[in-house]
Amino acid sequence: MDTALFLLVDGLTNGLVYALLALSLVLTFTVTRVVNIAQGEYVMLGALTLADLLQGRFPGSVYLLVGGLALCVVLDARRWRSDWKGALLFAAGMLLAAVGAVALAKGALALQLPVVAMMLVALLLVAPIGVLIYRFTVHPIPDASTIVFVIISVGVSMSVQGLGLLIWGASPYPVDPVASGGTLLGPVFVPYQSFVILVVALASMGGLYLFSEYTLVGKALQASAMNRLGAQFCGIPVAKAGGLAFLLAAAFSAISGMLLAPLITANYEMGFMVGLKGFVGGAMGGLIDYPFALLGVMMVGGLETTSAYLASAYRDVLVFGLLIPTLLWRNARQRAEAR
């Protein structure tokens, strides 16, 4: 009984972390129709950036950010001929952003900010990378088929993972939890970190909900998700909405990485498997349905811890094997509803 409860808590904690990732996948897909296989890489970037900041190293993701900004200027090169003022302004803006990022990282290191503030800094450094990736890989071909975007995101995932290895090396980075220790809840020991995860995850989801329901930008985002063409006719800049979706998605994934890092050791290749599990959860909801995506990731988290306990060699076999009947049930239900 105690074991079951322990597994439940553990499973739910994992599930909440995956949930943030599933949210970002759903967000990206609905607005841009990109099934982003590379979403897990932001988890890795978030975790390793936080590890760097907490251990007093200059965060490696700043190199990625600055490199990306530079590439933006290079891609903008053609504009110099027709509109050199605009191009100059753009280049200056990018330069300013790069200087700002470096200053932010240096400043945070010098001030030795508390953990929560460091998480915020890491977020500010990682989330813009999402927009850059959008600019490089989706923006040029907005009407390509889903499968093309899938493969492109695989390419992005490979490159970012390779860059991660180049920057951080293969060694794992331990990250201290925001809160150490724990408490006995009835018969079960619950670490404080689980509570932190619960609070942060709920706050992020609530924030996204409030943002999309009560702000104009959020509503524009929803409109682009529901009907791209219609949104365009209403004067919503759909391309910008896509960039915003990538920004928010990267932010959520980075948060999920920072929460996950203390539970598992962060390293350059952690992103892919975590991303896959988020994808599985998100796809349970057909990648369009937030509540079902949440239920999906909770199930994946629960299945994972239970099967790891019962038969660790067959863990992945069980998790993914049990997924198929679930999918069939989901599909049958959906058809019944459609009728």
Partner 1 sequence: MIMRARSVLGLCVGAAFVAAPWVLPSFYVGILAFAGIYALAAIGLILLLQAGQVSLGQAAFMGIGGYVSALVSRAYGIDSALTLVLAVAVTAVIAAAFGLMTLKLRGHYLPLATLAFGIATSGVFTAWHDVTGGASGLDKIPSLGLFGHVITDDRFYAQLIWIVVLLAVCGVNRLRTSRVGRAIATLESHDGMARSFGVDTTALRVKVFVLSAVLAALAGALYVHLLRFVSPSPFGLSSSFKLLIMSVVGGPVSGAGAVLGAVTLESAQWGLQDLLARWGASGNLEVIVFGILLVVMLLKFPRGLWPTVEKRLPAPAARSRDGAGLPMRRPDTKPGEVLLDLKGIGIRFGGLQALADVDMVLRRGELVGLIGPNGAGKTTLFSIISGLQRQTSGSVKLFGEPLPRSHLIVRNGMARTFQHVQLVPEMSVIENVALGAYWRTRAGFARSLLALDASENQQALATAQAALVRVGLAAEADLPAGSLPLGKQRIVEIARALMADPQILLLDEPAAGLRFSEKLMLVKILRQLQADNVTILLVEHDMELVMGCVQRLVVLDRGRMIAEGTPHEVQANPAVIAAYLGGSRDKAA
Give the interface with partner 1 as residue ranges (CB under 8 A): 35, 136-137, 140-141, 144-145, 147-148, 150-152, 154-163, 165-166, 276, 279-280, 283-284, 286-287, 313-317, 320-321, 323-324, 327-328, 330-331, 334
Q: Whose Cβ is closer to partner 1: residue 119's or residue 250's?
A: 250
What are the structure tokens assigned to 33, written together? Answer: 């129709």
Looking at the Cβ atoms of 147 and 229, the one nearer to partner 1 is: 147
Q: Least distance in Å: CB of 334 to partner 1?
A: 8
Burial class of 205 by CB neighbour count within 10 A (0 to 12, 13 to 18, 19+): middle
Contact 23, 292 (CB under 8 A): no
Residue closer to partner 1, measured from CB, 148 or 199: 148
Question: Which residue number, 120 or 154, has a Cβ lying nearer to partner 1?
Answer: 154
Residue closer to partner 1 by CB (options 103, 328) is: 328
Query: Shortest gap between Cβ of 330 and partner 1 (angstroms)?
Result: 7
CA 268 and chain centroid, separation = 15
Alpha-carbon gap, residue 319 to 306, rounded angstroms: 9
Report d(CA 29, CA 246) in Å as an integer: 10
* In the complex, least distance from residue 130 CB atom to partner 1, rounded to whole angstroms: 15
Outline where DSSP puts E strands in the chain: 182-185, 188-191
Which CB, 130 or 177, lies closer to partner 1? 130
Question: In the complex, what is the shortest distance from the CB of residue 122 to partner 1, in angstroms, rounded to a whole number?
Answer: 23
Q: How far is the CB of 316 from partner 1 (least distance, A)?
A: 4
- Per the CB < 8 A criterion, the answer to whether 176 and 54 are in contact is yes
CB 250 within 8 A of CB 127: yes
Beta bridge partner(s), residue 182: 191
How far apart are alpha carbons 140 and 75 in whole angstroms? 11
Q: How far apart are CA 119 and CA 49, in angstroms?
A: 9
In the structure encoding, which two tokens stand for residue 299, read together?
A: 């199930």
Structure tokens at 5: 């409860």
Nearest distance from C-beta of residue 34 to partner 1, angstroms = 12
Q: Is the Cβ of residue 5 or residue 71 nearer to partner 1 in the bound state?
A: 71
Our CB check for partner 1 shows the closer of 191 and 302 to be 302
Question: How do 188-191 and 182-185 pair as beta strands?
Answer: antiparallel
CB of 271 to partner 1, least distance (A): 13
Sign of torsion over alpha carbons 106, 262, 266, 19: negative
DSSP E strand boundaries for 39-120 = none
Minimal distance in Å, beta carbon 67 to partner 1? 11
